[in-house]
């Protein structure tokens, strides 16, 4: 059973205007330790923990080595993985340089068995109001569709690295969000409750949330492609949202400017 939480939160783009909506995101549990997985595999296979651990370590070393050489490496019972990059495009060969690479990536492609398992797994949704109280529990009746990650990855303006790579991009129109952070405070950028890193590709029109906690006595501000993003303060934390534009965007977050205030986006 996959657990999903639907949390009621403010999705308004206007300062001091509250527009509540239930935003769905996966409920993540603690990351399991490798030793626990090895012990469980030993119980199910009848093979000693030591032998499985040795095989586990050897397989991991081989996968890392071959992946860095550019191979798409099989993961037994799971699928395959490969390394890749996100990059910007240029028209002139003289402009090609390593600074065009915006992020290095790990791409996992699940096997048919994993996809079938996911498709057959039920989804339970727990709804929370803005105060954190449970207001409803439902079992989803979705179509059980599973995304084809391989096709999705090939359509995300990706220049593949290593022996399997190409020299151009795929011509995708999915915009890239570049994030620049300054100041002594902390900040987080999320989509649907999931963290977003600089260089991530986000579909145009997607709502992106911003949360900034500045150092004491300081006030944050943020701009998207040079235009100010409205930030609303509550208990020392400033939050705001914006929609991903049609083209690539640059988000500049200053989490520690003195004076001034959160700047409204008109």
Beta partners for 104? 85
Q: Does the residue 50 lie in any domain? A: no
Picking from 90-99, 173-182, 212-221, 254-263, which range would have the lowest pLDDT averaged per residue?
254-263
Alpha-carbon span 248 to 256, nearest angstrom: 26
Residues 156 and 184 in one domain: no
Alpha-carbon span 244 to 207, nearest angstrom: 6
> Quick check: 164 and 43 in contact, CB under 8 A?
no
Q: Which of 20, 15, 19, 59 is nearest to 37 (CA)?
A: 59
Alpha-carbon span 230 to 67, nearest angstrom: 43
225 vs 140 pLDDT, higher one = 225
Number of domain units in the chain:
2
Q: Which two tokens stand for residue 201?
A: 């590709």
pLDDT value at residue 173: 59
Residues 129 and 217 in one domain: no
DSSP notation for the chain:
-EEEEEEEEE--SSTT---EEEEEEEPP-PPPPHHHHHHHHHHHH---HHHHHHHHHHHHHHHHHHHHTT--EEETTTEEEEEEEEE---SSGGG--GGGEEEEEEEEEE-HHHHHHHHHS-EEEEEE-TTS-EEEEEE---------HHHHHHTSSEE--GGG--SS-------EEEEEEESSSEEEEEETTEE--TTEE--TT-EEEEEEEPPTT-EEEEEETTEEPP-EEETTEEEEEEE--SS-EEEEEEEEESSS-PPPP-
Mean residue pLDDT across the chain: 81
243-264 pLDDT, tens digit per residue, is: 998 888 999 999 876 544 433 3
Q: Does the residue 14 lie in any domain? A: yes
Tell me the residue range of the domain where 152 lies: 2-31+69-164
Residues 117 and 16 in one domain: yes
Q: Which of residues 130, 164, 198 is at a domain's end?
A: 164
Burial class (CB in 10 A: 0-12, 13-18, 19+), 17: exposed
Whether the pLDDT of residue 66 is over 60: the answer is yes
Average pLDDT over residues 52-58: 94
Residues 9 and 81 in one domain: yes
Q: Does the residue 36 lie in any domain? A: no
Q: Which of 248, 227, 71 is nearest to 175 (CA)?
A: 248
Residues 207 and 80 in one domain: no
Give the confidence band of 208 by pLDDT, cuts at 50, 70, 90.
very high
Give the confidence band of 150 by pLDDT, cuts at 50, 70, 90.
low
Residues 130 and 224 in one domain: no
Residues 100 and 224 in one domain: no
Alpha-carbon span 51 to 56, nearest angstrom: 9
Residues 183 and 210 in one domain: yes
Q: Which two tokens stand for residue 235?
A: 């208990």
């Amino acid at each position: 059973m996959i657990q999903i939480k639907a949390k009621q939160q403010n999705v308004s783009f206007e300062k001091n205007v509250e527009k509540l909506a239930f935003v769905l995101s996966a409920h993540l549990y603690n990351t399991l330790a490798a030793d626990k997985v090895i012990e469980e595999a030993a119980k199910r296979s009848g093979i000693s923990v030591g032998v499985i651990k040795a095989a586990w370590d050897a397989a991991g070393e081989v996968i890392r080595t071959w992946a860095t050489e550019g191979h798409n490496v099989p993961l037994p019972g799971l699928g395959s993985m490969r390394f890749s990059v996100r990059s910007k495009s240029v028209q002139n060969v003289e402009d090609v340089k390593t600074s065009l690479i915006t992020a290095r990536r790990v791409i996992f492609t699940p096997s048919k068995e994993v996809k079938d398992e996911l498709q057959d797994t039920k989804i339970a949704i727990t709804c929370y109001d803005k105060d954190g109280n449970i207001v409803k529990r439902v079992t989803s009746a979705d179509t059980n569709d599973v995304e084809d990650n391989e096709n999705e990855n090939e359509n995300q303006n990706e220049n593949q690295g290593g022996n399997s790579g190409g020299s151009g991009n795929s011509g995708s129109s999915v915009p890239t969000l570049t994030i620049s952070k300054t100041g002594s405070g902390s900040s987080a950028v999320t989509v649907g409750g999931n963290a977003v890193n600089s260089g991530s590709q986000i579909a145009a029109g997607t709502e992106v949330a911003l949360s900034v906690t500045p150092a004491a006595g300081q006030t944050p501000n943020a701009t998207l492609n040079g235009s100010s993003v409205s930030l609303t303060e509550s208990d020392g934390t400033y939050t705001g949202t914006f929609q991903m534009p049609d083209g690539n965007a640059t988000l500049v977050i200053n989490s520690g400017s003195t004076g001034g205030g959160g700047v409204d986006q008109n």
